[in-house]
Amino acid sequence: MKLFRSIAAAVLGLLLFGAQDSQASLGDKAMASHVRSLVLELSVDEAEVKLALADPQDAMVAVERARLELYKGDCTSALSTLAKHDLLEDESGRQIGGAARGCISATAGSVVFTDEASGAWVRLSDAEDAVLLPSVYDVVSRTRALFQRELNVVMPKWVRIELVRDQFSLSKMTGLPLTAARTTGTIGIAKWGRVIMVSPRAADGGYGFLDTMAHELTHLALARASTDQAPLWLQEGVARRLESAWREPSPFDDTPRAVDVAALGLSRGIGPDIDAIGPSIALLPSALEAQITYAKVQSFMTFYSEEAGAPGLSKLLQECKSGGSIENLVERASSRKFSEWKDKWKAHVSQEGREIDLALRPGAPAPKALPKARKHYRLGELLLARGHASASEREFQLAKDLLPREASSRGLLARATGRNGREEAARALVSETKDVATGDSVWWSMRGVLGHEDAVRSERFAIMGAPYDPLVACRELDPPRLPSDPGLAALCTAARKKPHSL
């Protein structure tokens, strides 16, 4: 009996010792959880203070230390921290380690700029993109004010932005599969506490990179407000609503209207329900589904914000921090279940949605005249580049006759007509917004240089859409002439240096 009790005691001792060892190996869960919350809401300074008090050997805390380093853009330190604690292959550190490796690879040879006034930290994969920095700083400053006004969110001291060379680098930095980025046309993502975007240098035609930046910065603001727990439909819907709110409005901002595109998607069953999007709109199977899903969530959040009133969105973001089911958190914020909101929104879309102009309808076939018009565009551009303005005007006129509401055809024709000395005829081509389906950088540029009443705004919209188009950036001046404004002169020089297809 005594022997049995001794054996039992020994076994119990081993079990208790093992339990203590197991508990010790879990690490400081409370500390790690607190640090993680601080990092997710972009409170990196507070997270660093907290980490200074933590056990440097604690594995759980080490994961959050690596996360913080990644959020700050210090990818080498993040990888080193995980390697030091043998966490690179551990489930807790594998994703962070993968992102850190991709970041190190994609940012080799990059350069960092900081601006105290705006609180912008910007890393450029190509130092030539430094000419874009004044515009980037402006967007960061303006969105700070916007987020405080619209979301009751005060952004952290530093807002971090990465401009990478291409979609391949974007994929490596964020973990988004390259095929998914190409399928949906993704050129910007807010991930790991930073906005990561493809430089407009990557495309001759450019893209609305400043609005894209504002969209992704909104995701950071929403992460800060909700400890990164806001559902995807809320995040994307608010980001679409605010992506152009930082600047003066354009007549084409809501073209086609989100409610009309949402109505098209709902009536034809295109795209998932707003709460069944999955982890990212960028992972949807087609660009069409992505476009319609963006419109759905934008329409929903516009409807919610108008119905719930000014504090409604802020309350909802606060509720997201506590987690729980969508039904419960929406009901706590608005006294109405999410399912009720969805039903009311669908009824609203059904009532308000209108038929979309075929030229703007998502998924509509390309105009039959497009291939022929493109040949005239191309020949006209080649002739104009070689100084044959009269011949190029004839080609652009043929293109405009084929596609009369295409802004690019009117803009190019105005360019050639103006160079032929017929400024009044050129001005008439770009004077009326009703003449075109949507805007285009050349159309805006010609509107600016031909002295339209909103010339200054037009030039800004032109450069926002295609900063590396030499004629747009140079205010339609040929080399070696430069714009008188020093900032525009620098952008013009950079645009002329960049390789182009012509």
Amino acid 501: pLDDT:
61
Per-residue pLDDT band for 502 (boundaries 50, 70, 90) equals low
In Å, how far are 252, 407, 429, 497 from 434, measured between CA atoms? Answer: 10, 11, 11, 36
Residues whose CB falls within 8 Å of the CB of residue 260, separated by 6 or more in sequence, listed in order: 295, 353, 354, 355, 356
Query: 403-438: b or e for each residue (b if 16 or more CB lie within 10 Å)?
Result: bebbbbbbbbbbbbbbbeeeeeebbebbeebeebbb
Distance between CA 420 and CA 400 in Å, rounded? 17
Tell me which amino acid residue 102 is.
Answer: G
Distance between CA 126 and CA 129 in Å, rounded? 6
Asked if residue 440 has pLDDT above 80, the reply is yes
Distance between CA 143 and CA 150 in Å, rounded? 10
* Neighbouring C-beta atoms of residue 461, cutoff 10 Å: 23
Distance between CA 190 and CA 183 in Å, rounded? 18
**What is the mean pLDDT of the segment spanning 380-397?**
95
Asked if residue 362 has pLDDT above 60, the reply is yes
Whether 196 contacts 162, CB under 8 Å = yes
Asked if residue 14 has pLDDT above 70, the reply is no
Asked if residue 342 has pLDDT above 60, the reply is yes
Amino acid 500: pLDDT:
74
Asked if residue 20 has pLDDT above 60, the reply is no
CA 274 to chain centre: 19
* Lookup: tokens for 40: 């997710």
**What's the Rg (C-alpha) of the chain?**
27
What is the end-to-end Cα distance of the chain in Å, rounded?
A: 96
Whether 447 contacts 426, CB under 8 Å = no
- Tokens 């930095």: give the residue: 173
Mean pLDDT taken over the chain: 92
Beta bridge partners of 122: 113, 161
Whether 418 contacts 471, CB under 8 Å = no
Asked if residue 21 has pLDDT above 50, the reply is no
Give pLDDT tens digits for 81-106. 999 999 999 999 999 999 999 999 99
Distance between CA 64 and CA 78 in Å, rounded? 9
> Could you give the angle at the alpha carbon of 196 between the alpha carbons of 213 and 215, nearest 5°?
25
Give pLDDT tens digits for 121-180. 999 999 999 999 999 999 999 999 999 999 999 999 999 999 999 999 999 999 999 999
